[in-house]
Homo-oligomer: A and B are copies of this chain.
Amino acid sequence: MSDLENSEKIVIAIDAMGGDFGPAEIIPALGLVIQGRPDVFFLIFGDEEKIKPHLHKYKSLAGACEIRHTDKMVKNDEKPSNALRNSKDTSMRLAIEAVKNKEAAAIVSAGNTGALMALSKMVLKTSIGVHRPAIASVMPGLAKDSIMLDLGANLIVDSENLVQFAILGSIFARAYNKMEDTKPSVGLLNIGSEDMKGPEHIRGAAEILSRVDFPGEYYGFVEGDDITKGTVDVIVCDGYAGNVALKTAEGVGKYIKHYINDAFTSNPLAMLGGLFAFFSLRKLKRQTDPRLYNGGVFLGLNGICIKSHGGADALSFSHAVIKAVRLARLGYIEHVAQEISHLTSQESFLSSGN
């Protein structure tokens, strides 16, 4: 069942030991994913004794998974360089290797981001022409959702790195949103929309993107509030600012929700109001639930690797897995390989920016 070649199933490798909760949230997440997805099969890597008690609760998972036991795991606070050295037989490394060996079409982990990136790069390798893989996520927006990258893999970048992120993000947006022949619009995250604004490396990237032919359509500079406006399809930034923006957004969401809960429990009249508005409030909760957007996708690797939020609960982790299934179904990696080989045959700006 677990051999991708001999099966119609989409096989996803799961690192069951990563994140704050391990199998206690990850196995229930798989239970959620398998509902209505009979074509999915999980290769679960981790401590069998810790996994099994949760597995028994989900009958639908019975024929849809296989446990690959290991009692080794990458610690959440381990330095990536240490993780590389000590990764042999860890649940994270074995799960990545399953993708490398074509046993699985994608790997999902809620573990240590730095270690996951370092191990993925080492095992899966970066695509030809790509200097630095980046982490991308789907960000909810009023007009439309955007793909934003980098979210933490590359803290200091130059113009050329940003141009590469724009290319990787465009290819991803096109495949993920099934845009076919439409070019996704690409914005560079900056502190103002005027040409003269911002640091030199961002203005440099703008100059290149407005000149070259690439899989996206350069829009111009965007600002922090354009993320939730949904101004463009792809937002490009360095990993430091991207990570700060992502976590700031998460924080503001929690802040406002705190006061919403407060508003509808503060007095009997308000509680009655909340009751009348029950379905609308439930819809509101869904519309603004960041868990539905969980999952950072590593772009630029020869394989699909998805990083779940470390604090993800079952619902949240399930959405990271659903992303992996979606990308695997799209044949995303073959798609990237095609686009990149097409690009590199045309021009050399993937490596030189010119």
**Residues of A in contact with B (beta carbons under 8 Å apart):** 77, 79, 140-142, 152, 155-156, 189, 191, 194, 196, 198-199, 223-229, 237, 239-241, 243-256, 258-260, 262-264, 266-267, 269-270, 272-281, 283-284, 287-288
Check B259–A256 contact: CB distance below 8 A: no
Task: Decide if the interface of chain A is mainly helix, strand, loop or mixed.
Answer: helix
Report the bound CA distance from A239 to B248 in whole Å: 15
CB distance from A58 to the nearest CB of B (A): 31
User: Is B273's CB under 8 angstroms from A251's CB?
Assistant: no
Copies in the complex: 2
Contact with A253, one of B240, B252, B258, B284 (Cβ below 8 angstroms): B252
Cα–Cα, bound, A263→B260 (Å): 12
Which residues of chain B are near A281, meaning CB under 8 Å? 263
Whether B249 contacts A224 by the Cβ 8 Å rule is yes
CB nearest to A278 among chain B residues: B273
A272 touches B276 (CB 8 A): yes
Given contacts A225-B251, A277-B269, contact A259 B284 (CB under 8 A): yes
B280/A264 in contact, CB under 8 A: yes
A224 interface neighbour in B223, B247, B269, Cβ under 8 Å: B247
Q: Out of B77, B191, B240, B270, which one reaches A277, CB within 8 Å?
A: B270
Measured between beta carbons, the chain B residues less than 8 angstroms from A272 are 273, 276-277
Quote the shortest CB–CB distance from A27 to chain B (angstroms).
Answer: 27
Q: How far is the CB of A124 from chain B (nearest CB, A)?
A: 23
- Judge whether A155 and B199 touch: CB under 8 Å: yes
Whether A191 contacts B288 in the complex (CB less than 8 A), given A224-B245, A256-B256, comes out as no
Given A155-B199, A263-B281, check contact A250 B274 (CB 8 Å): no
* Chain B residues within an 8 Å CB radius of A279: 267, 269-270
Q: Inside 8 A of A248's CB, which chain B residues have their CB?
A: 224-225, 227-228, 245, 248-249, 252
Q: Hey, which chain B residues are within 8 Å of A228, CB to CB? A: 248, 251-252, 254-255
Which of B152, B225, B273 contacts A254 (CB under 8 A)? B225
Given contact pairs A228-B252, A256-B288, a sample of 5 additional A-B residue pairs in the complex whose CB atoms are under 8 Å apart: A141-B255, A226-B251, A259-B284, A262-B280, A263-B277
